[in-house]
């Protein structure tokens, strides 16, 4: 199904079109588990630390008690360090049904501690956003550009005309691989996994498919 609009270098599709049961869809957007939240930054957030709250389980995306709102103007800049290498496949940006909803998103890979001054450079991908009130609209990345990402910066550069921007949920879909010097830990979703059971002494990294 086409949405009949352009996305400035990337397409979008409803997550519902993936025809997955909710538990599978929630697993697909499990990359939030692979974010180093202690080091995550959100520049120009009105309340310190609130930017971390929008990276939450897909099933909790409609929880409006966790959100981030911009402070001095409409821009927000998320610096997102991962705990391994990520192949990023898609992003969901959910906001309110008003002009505070983001209208443009610019992605940069592997620029730690990025500042607003750095956003003058060419982004790896830019999306024109539509209002998404349910967390169902996914923007597909150019996987060739985002196949080995250890740090992702999301620049919300515009909204639909409000003085400040409000984001309720950011969902990330893709694959995660943890590299170690002498061993590789294979990620899984067992209820109570023993990490010692999943250490493999070999050179080839093991990839866990989240999507």
148 has pLDDT over 80: yes
151 has pLDDT over 80: yes
Q: Where are the alpha helices (DSSP H) in the chain?
A: 22-28
End-to-end Cα, the chain, rounded Å: 20
Measured distance CA(180)–CA(84) in Å, rounded: 9
Yes or no: say if 110 and 124 are a contact pair by the CB < 8 Å rule.
Answer: no
Residues written for the chain: 211
pLDDT score recorded for residue 93: 98
81 three-class SS: strand
Yes or no: say if 150 and 82 are a contact pair by the CB < 8 Å rule.
Answer: yes
Comparing CA positions, the residue from 155, 139, 15 lying closest to residue 88 is 139
| DSSP, res 206 | P
For the four alpha carbons of 19, 22, 27 and 31, in that order, the dihedral sign comes to: positive
Give the distance from CA 94 to its chain's centroid.
11
Q: pLDDT tens for residues 5-53?
A: 434 445 555 544 445 666 666 678 999 999 999 999 999 999 999 999 9
Q: pLDDT tens for residues 108-144?
A: 999 999 999 999 999 999 999 999 999 999 999 999 9
Measured distance CA(84)–CA(9) in Å, rounded: 26
pTM: 0.78
Written as six digits, the tokens of 51 are 């930017």
Tokens 């180093």: give the residue: 36
Measured distance CA(73)–CA(87) in Å, rounded: 32
- Domains annotated on the chain, with CATH: 22-177 (2.60.120.470)
């Amino acid at each position: 199904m086409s949405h009949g609009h352009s996305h400035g270098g990337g397409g979008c599709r409803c997550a519902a079109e993936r025809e997955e049961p909710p538990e599978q869809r929630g697993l697909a957007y499990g990359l939030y588990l692979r974010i180093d939240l202690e080091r995550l930054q959100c520049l120009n957030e009105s309340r310190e630390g609130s930017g971390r709250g929008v990276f939450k389980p897909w099933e909790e995306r409609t929880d409006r008690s966790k959100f981030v709102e911009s402070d001095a103007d409409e821009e927000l800049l998320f610096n997102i360090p991962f705990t391994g290498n990520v192949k990023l496949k898609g992003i969901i940006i959910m906001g309110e049904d008003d002009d505070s909803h983001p209208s443009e998103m610019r992605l940069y890979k592997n620029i730690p501690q990025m500042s607003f001054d750095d956003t003058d450079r060419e982004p790896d991908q830019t999306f024109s956003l539509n209002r998404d009130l349910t967390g169902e609209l996914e923007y597909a990345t150019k996987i060739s550009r985002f196949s080995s990402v250890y740090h992702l910066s999301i620049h919300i550069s515009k909204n639909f005309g409000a003085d400040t921007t409000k984001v309720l949920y950011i969902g990330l879909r893709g694959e995660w691989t943890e590299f170690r010097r002498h061993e590789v830990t294979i990620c899984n979703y067992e209820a109570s996994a023993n990490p010692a059971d999943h250490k493999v002494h070999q050179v080839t990294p093991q990839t866990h498919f989240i999507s």
